[in-house]
C-alpha cells in the first residue's frame, strides 16, 4: 500500500445476479430511455449484461507501515505541456490491451484490474501481449488486513495483489491459458502452483489520494494503463455516451482499468475505462465517465460492517465516480524465459 500514513484500500465489485432484473419495469425504463449514441454526452441505457449486476457494498482497510515496493509517482518532474489532448492505449501498436473479460458472479474485479494492468505493463516492456491469470491472484493472494474485502470472490485490491507478487519468490503471474479463470459462478478455489510464470510484479507506482486530473493523465500516458477504484453503483444500465456520476453519495466499490481520455465535440472531457462485465456491456465493454477533479464527496461508510475497525469513519473522494482517489500502475519483469 502506498506509503503515506493511513491508507485505505478500496475495492469491492459488482457481480452478476441471475435474471431477476429483467422485470417488466426494467423493460419499460429501457424502452423509454434507450438512445444508443456513442458520441453523445448524455448516456444511453439499454437492457444489457449489467442489469444482472448488483453491489454488495464497499469494504476498506488500512496499512500502517510503509511499503518499500510502493513508489509515489511525481508528475511535477514531467513536461505536462507535451501531453496529448486525447489519448487511448487501445490505439497503441503493438497492442497492450487484451480483449474485454467477464468476472461473472464473483467479486473479483480487483483481480481483473490487477492482471489487466500487469498485462499492459508486460506488453509495454516486452512487446508481447499475454493474457495473465486473474484466477491465480484470486486463489493465492492473502488478505489478512481485509483490504477491499476478505479476499477471493469476497473482494480485495490491486495493491495487495501487487504486494503479494513482489514479496514472494513465487509471486509471478502465469498465463490465462495455464491457470484459467474458473470462479465465474462465485466459488473460491484453492491456490495451485503456477505451471509457468510469465510476468512478475516487482513494485508499483501510485498517486496520492485525489490527485488532480493532470497527474492522472500523466501517469496514464507515461506509465501505462492504470488500476483505479470507482463507484459503479449507477453503472448497471449504462449503454453509451459520457456518464456523469451523481455529485453526492459516492461509495467506492469497484476496480477497473483506466485506458484513455478525451473530449467530445461539444467540449465534455471524459475518461475511458475498461470494465470486467463482458463486451456486451456499455460501449463494447467500456465506459466513458466525465473528467472533472473538482467534484468531490465524502464516502461515509468506509468501515460499515466490513472494513477495518481501526480505519477512519469517512474519507474524501474526488472525480466523477471517485476515480481520482486511488490509482496504481505495476512494474513488471519478464519471467517467461525461466523454466
Q: What is the pLDDT of residues 4-63, one digit of tens each?
A: 333 333 345 655 433 223 222 332 223 223 333 333 444 443 433 333 333 333 333 333
Residues 189, 138 contacting (CB under 8 angstroms):
yes
71 as an active site residue: the answer is no
Chain centre to alpha carbon of residue 290: 16
Q: What is the pLDDT of residue 192?
A: 86
Q: What is the pLDDT of residue 213?
A: 96
Confirm whether 39 is domain-assigned: yes
Q: What is the pLDDT of residue 98?
A: 98
Tell me: the pLDDT tens digits for 135-159?
Answer: 999 999 998 888 888 889 988 889 8
Q: What would the mean pLDDT of 287-303 be, rounded to a whole number?
A: 87
The neighbouring-strand residues paired with 230 are 254
Q: What is the dihedral of CA 210, 214, 219, 225, to 10 degrees?
A: 90
Confirm whether 1 is domain-assigned: no
Confirm whether 307 is domain-assigned: yes
Q: How confident is the model at residue 82 (pLDDT cuts 50, 70, 90)?
A: confident
Confirm whether 2 is domain-assigned: no
Q: What is the 3-state secondary structure (H, E, C) of the chain?
A: CCCCCCEECCCCCCEECCCCCCCHHHHHHHHHHCCCCCCCCCCEECCCHHHHEECCCCCCCEECCCCCCEEECCHHHCCHHHCCCCEEHHHCCCCCCCCCCECCCCECHHHHHHHHHHHHHHHHHHCCCCCECHHHHHHHCCCCCCCCCCCCCECCCHHHHHHHHHHCCCCCEEECCCCCCCCCCCCCCCCCCCCCEEEEEEEEEEECCCCCHHHHHHHHHHHCCEEEEECCCCCCCEEECEECCCCCCCCCCEEEEEEEEEECCCCCEEEEEECCECCCCCECCEEEEECCCCCEEEECCCCCCCCCCCCCCCEEEECHHHCCCCEEEEEEEECCCCC
CATH of the domain at 109: 3.90.70.10
Residues 184, 106 contacting (CB under 8 angstroms):
yes
Tell me: the pLDDT tens digits for 258-293?
Answer: 999 999 999 999 999 999 999 999 999 999 999 999
Q: How confident is the model at residue 84 (pLDDT cuts 50, 70, 90)?
A: very high
Confirm whether 197 is domain-assigned: yes
- Name the catalytic one among 9, 13, 109, 140: 109
Indicate the number of domains in the chain: 1
Q: What does the alpha-carbon distance between residue 292 and residue 267 come to, in Å, rounded to a whole number?
A: 12
CB count within 10 Å of CB 21 equals: 17
Q: What is the pLDDT of residue 195?
A: 63
The grid coordinates of residue 309 equal 475497525
Q: At what angle are helices 109-126 and 158-167 packed, to 10 degrees?
A: 60
Confirm whether 303 is domain-assigned: yes
Q: What does the alpha-carbon distance between residue 130 and residue 144 come to, in Å, rounded to a whole number?
A: 30
Q: Which residue has the higher pLDDT, 114 or 303?
A: 114
Q: What is the pLDDT of residue 66?
A: 40
CB count within 10 Å of CB 192 equals: 14
Q: What is the pLDDT of residue 336?
A: 63
Q: Are strands 197-207 and 70-72 parallel, antiparallel or unpaired?
A: parallel
- Name the catalytic one among 275, 318, 321, 324: 275
Q: Quote the domain boundaries for residue 241.
A: 7-334
Q: What is the pLDDT of residue 103?
A: 98
Q: What is the pLDDT of residue 46?
A: 41
Q: What is the pLDDT of residue 133?
A: 96
0.75 surpassed by pTM: yes
- Name the catalytic one among 13, 102, 106, 254: 254
254 as an active site residue: the answer is yes
43: Cβ contacts below 8 Å, ≥ 6 apart: 238, 239, 240, 241, 242, 243, 244
Q: What does the alpha-carbon distance between residue 139 and residue 194 come to, in Å, rounded to a whole number?
A: 11
What is each CA distance from 242 to 46, 88, 129, 195, 309, in whole angstroms? Answer: 15, 15, 29, 42, 37
Q: What is the dihedral of CA 328, 8, 60, 167, to 10 degrees?
A: 60
Confirm whether 53 is domain-assigned: yes
The grid coordinates of residue 64 equal 500502517
Average pLDDT, the chain: 79
275 as an active site residue: the answer is yes
Q: Which residue has the higher pLDDT, 255 or 49?
A: 255
Confirm whether 317 is domain-assigned: yes
Amino acid at each position: 500500500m502506498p506509503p503515506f500514513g493511513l491508507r485505505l484500500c478500496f475495492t469491492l465489485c459488482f457481480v452478476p445476479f441471475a435474471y431477476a432484473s429483467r422485470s417488466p419495469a426494467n423493460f419499460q425504463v429501457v424502452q423509454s430511455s434507450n438512445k444508443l449514441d456513442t458520441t453523445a454526452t448524455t448516456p444511453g441505457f439499454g437492457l444489457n449484461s449489467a442489469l444482472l449486476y448488483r453491489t454488495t457494498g464497499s469494504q476498506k482497510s488500512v496499512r500502517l507501515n510503509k511499503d518499500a515496493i510502493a513508489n509515489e509517482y511525481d508528475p511535477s518532474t514531467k513536461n505536462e505541456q507535451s501531453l496529448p489532448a486525447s489519448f487511448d492505449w487501445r490505439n497503441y501498436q503493438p497492442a497492450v490491451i487484451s480483449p474485454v473479460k467477464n468476472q461473472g458472479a464473483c467479486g473479483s474485479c480487483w483481480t481483473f484490474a490487477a492482471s489487466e494492468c500487469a498485462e499492459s505493463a508486460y506488453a509495454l516492456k516486452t512487446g508481447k501481449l499475454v493474457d495473465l491469470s486473474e484466477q491465480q491472484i484470486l486463489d493465492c493472494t492473502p488478505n489478512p488486513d481485509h483490504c477491499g474485502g476478505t479476499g477471493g470472490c469476497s473482494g480485495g485490491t490491486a495493491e495487495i495483489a501487487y504486494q503479494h507478487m513482489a514479496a514472494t519468490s513465487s509471486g509471478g503471474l502465469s498465463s490465462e491459458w495455464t491457470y484459467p479463470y474458473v470462479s465465474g459462478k462465485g466459488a473460491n478455489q484453492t491456490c495451485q502452483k503456477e505451471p509457468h510464470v510469465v510476468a512478475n510484479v516487482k513494485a508499483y507506482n501510485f498517486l496520492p489520494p485525489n490527485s488532480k486530473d493532470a497527474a492522472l493523465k500523466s501517469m496514464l500516458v507515461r506509465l501505462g494503463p492504470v488500476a483505479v477504484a470507482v463507484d459503479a453503483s449507477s453503472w448497471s444500465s449504462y449503454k453509451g455516451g459520457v456518464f456523469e456520476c451523481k455529485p453526492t453519495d459516492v461509495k467506492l466499490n469497484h476496480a477497473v482499468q483506466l485506458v484513455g481520455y478525451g473530449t467530445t465535440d461539444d467540449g465534455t472531457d471524459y475518461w475511458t475505462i475498461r470494465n470486467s462485465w463482458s463486451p456486451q456491456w456499455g460501449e463494447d465493454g467500456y465506459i466513458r465517465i466525465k473528467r472533472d477533479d473538482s467534484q468531490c464527496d465524502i464516502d461515509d461508510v468506509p468501515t460499515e460492517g466490513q472494513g477495518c475497525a481501526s480505519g477512519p469513519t469517512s474519507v474524501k473522494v474526488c472525480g466523477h465516480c471517485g476515480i481520482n482517489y486511488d490509482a496504481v500502475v505495476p512494474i513488471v519483469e519478464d519471467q517467461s524465459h525461466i523454466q
